[in-house]
Amino acid sequence: MNKNMSVIILFQKQALKAILPVLAAMPVLEGILFFLLTGSLRANGAFWLEDLVEKSAMWWVFWIAFAATCILLLRAASDGTGRPSYSLQRLAVSPQNLFACHLLALMVSFLLLWAVQILTVFLLLSWVCSNPAYSSFSSQSVFLAFYRNDFLHNLLPMEDWLCWLRNLVLFFGLTTSAAYFALPQDESEKKSNILFLLHIAVLIISFTWSLGSNGMNALAILCSGCCSVTILCKIFRKEAAQ
């Protein structure tokens, strides 16, 4: 097997093993909160799906899971001293290839977290709407909830292609800066790690923007795109210098 493919698989294995408890705990916790709230809202009469999502604190659980994922993924990539693990050192790949492989593994892990959140919320909302005990929902309620609720809309932007693009650019920026963060760095390079924290902050803030925030989305795409390009330039300039 190709040496680089082995590195990707190694990273992927480490990443999945690290985040598996988060991927399992998040839907369980969200489900418990959701069912508890559904019961209490039902006692008060009719309710909206958007209320349910907002009051169930689903987004808090998601962001805590997201933070845990970030920490676990970065810890899994190193041996605890900030250097690549022993297995990676033995494979002797260049830091640039190491960066690219780590980037791919991180991307898959973050996308997996995103997908698990979408599936969880989709299944929970579909269950409420199909449950004959809750009669106030129409055949469009789940579809509309993904437009009416900001968190849901940013999670799955439906036909809002600029929001999709923003999410992809932000996730790419996040994984790029995370992969860069995980590389062995000298003191002068450590300043760039602020980009990783900035991406986390922008990602969280952008999930509160409502439908039609095209200007903000475009700005986020521009800033995140610039950051990713800067990091990639640094990596490949380093390679050229070597």
Partner 1 sequence: MKHKGQLLWILVPVLMIAAVFLVTLGSLLPQRNQVAVEHTVLYGDPAAAEGLEAVCRTAFQDQLFWDTTIRPGASPDVETSYDFSFKKQVSYYAQDCGFNMSSTCSYDVSYLESVGVPSQPLEDAIADLEAETEIGETKSRRYPLQQFFDNYLIEYYIYFPYTQNRSLLVDIDEAVFSDFFRIPVLPEEQIVITYDKTDYPSEVISKEVEGGFPTRTCSVFTDDAIYFSFDNVTGDGRYVDTSLIPGGYGIYRLPYAKETSSGSSPYYTVQSEELSNCFSLDPTVRVCDLRLDSRQETLFLYTQEGEKNWLTLLRTDTMEILQRLCLSGNEMDASPWYQADDFFVLSDGYELLLFAKKEDGRFEKQLETSLSPSEEPLFHLSYKATMAWDGRQLAITSASPKEENEWVTTAFILAVYDESGLRYIGRYDPILNPTARPEDFNYFCQSPDNALPEIRWEVKP
Give residue 11's identity as a one-letter amino acid code: F
Q: Does 160 bind partner 1 (CB under 8 A)?
A: yes
What x/- string results for residues 202 through 221 when contact with partner 1 is judged by CB under 8 A?
--------xxx-x-------
- Judged by CB under 8 A, the chain residues 11 through 40 that form the site for partner 1 are 12-13, 16
Q: How many residues bind partner 1 (CB under 8 A)?
A: 46
Tell the burial category of 192 from Cβ atoms under 10 Å away from its Cβ (0-12, 13-18, 19+). Answer: middle
Check residue 87 for interaction with partner 1 (CB under 8 A).
no
Altogether, the residues listed in the chain come to a count of 242
Can residue 3 be called a binding residue for partner 1 (CB under 8 A)? Answer: no
Is residue 92 near partner 1 by the rule CB under 8 A?
no
Backbone angles phi, psi at 50, to 5 degrees: -65, -35
Q: Are 26 and 120 in contact (CB under 8 A)?
A: yes
Residue 222 amino acid letter: L
Per CB under 8 A, the list member of 64, 144, 165, 232 interacting with partner 1 is 144
CA atoms in the 13 A half-sphere facing the CB of 125: 27
Alpha-carbon Rg for the chain in angstroms: 20
Q: How far is the CB of 108 from partner 1 (least distance, A)?
A: 5
> Interface with partner 1 includes 133 (CB under 8 A)?
no
Report DSSP state, residue 143: H
Point out which residues bind partner 1 (CB under 8 A): 1, 6, 8-9, 12-13, 16, 45-48, 50-51, 108-109, 111-112, 114-116, 118-119, 122, 126, 136-144, 146-148, 156, 158-162, 210-212, 214
